[in-house]
């Protein structure tokens, strides 16, 4: 997990001098989340809809599941774990989408088990937009509050924000591997 040193000269990184440490931590987390997303998007930009459902042998995963799972996880880590579920969250992600891509689900080789690529992409993008919007307005208090239920990778709201970027990079690595197995050129 990323560790942030409270004694580091963060003003040299372009963060707001004089801002509270808590608000700077939110900005640090937002930058990491945005950086991870930008990298993931470079991996997706030249893929066809068919590529999204291609699976290697043995069939272990595909890009559609990876991206849907990233949408689900970003919702959970950046929105739900920060402020709970809101009624308007149903507009971001349907219950069937959540059940298809939740933690503990396994990718299926049956394309009929999944929404269309456009719906997966739209959900992925909508949740990210909402996450960045809420991060920009997030109060700079309570970041060290423990979360219930706890998670093995983090104990606080701030930990959940940092883990969102780490988690996305983990899945970006899997997307990158799938690209290589498809004989796609590396993006970096």
- Could you report the per-residue pLDDT of 32-43, keeping only the tens digit for each? 999 999 999 999
Name the token pair of 125. Answer: 């993008």
Q: Could you name the CATH architecture of 20-181?
A: Up-down Bundle (1.20)
pTM of the model: 0.88
Mean pLDDT over all residues of the chain?
89
pLDDT, tens digit, 9 for 90 and up, residues 42-51: 999 999 999 9
Read off the pLDDT of residues 96-111 as tens digits, 9 standing for 90 and up. 999 999 999 999 999 9
Q: How far apart are the C-alpha atoms of 72 and 132, rounded to whole Å?
A: 15
How large a percentage of the chain has pLDDT more than 90?
74
Q: Report the pLDDT value the prediction gives residue 125, as an integer from 0 to 100.
A: 98
Alpha-carbon span 92 to 90, nearest angstrom: 5
Q: Give the per-residue pLDDT at 18.
A: 58
Output phi, psi for 177, to 5 deg.
Answer: -65, -45
Q: What is the pLDDT of residue 169?
A: 98
**pLDDT over 60 at 5, yes or no:** no
The token duo for 34 is: 């945005």
Encode 159-170: b = buried (16+ Cβ within 10 Å), e = exposed. bbbbbbbbbbee
Residue 94 DSSP symbol: -
Query: pLDDT tier at 118 (50, 70, 90 boundaries)?
Result: very high
Q: Does the pLDDT at position 20 exceed 80? A: no
């Amino acid at each position: 997990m990323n560790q942030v040193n409270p004694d580091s000269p963060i003003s040299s990184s372009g963060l707001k001098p004089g801002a509270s440490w808590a608000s700077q931590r939110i900005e640090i987390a937002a930058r990491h989340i945005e950086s991870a997303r930008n990298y993931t998007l470079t991996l997706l930009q030249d893929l066809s809809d068919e590529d999204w459902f291609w699976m290697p042998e043995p069939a272990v995963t595909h890009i559609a599941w990876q991206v849907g799972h990233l949408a689900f996880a970003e919702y959970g880590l950046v929105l739900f774990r920060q402020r709970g579920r809101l009624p308007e969250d149903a507009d971001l992600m349907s219950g069937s989408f959540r059940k298809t891509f939740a933690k503990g689900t396994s990718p299926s080789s049956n394309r009929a088990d999944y929404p269309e690529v456009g719906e997966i992409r739209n959900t992925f993008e909508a949740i990210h937009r909402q996450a960045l919007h809420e991060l920009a307005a997030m109060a700079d208090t309570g970041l060290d509050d423990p979360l219930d239920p706890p998670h093995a990778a983090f104990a606080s709201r701030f930990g959940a924000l940092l883990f969102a970027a780490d988690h996305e990079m983990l899945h970006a690595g899997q997307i990158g591997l799938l690209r290589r197995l498809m004989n796609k050129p590396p993006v970096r």
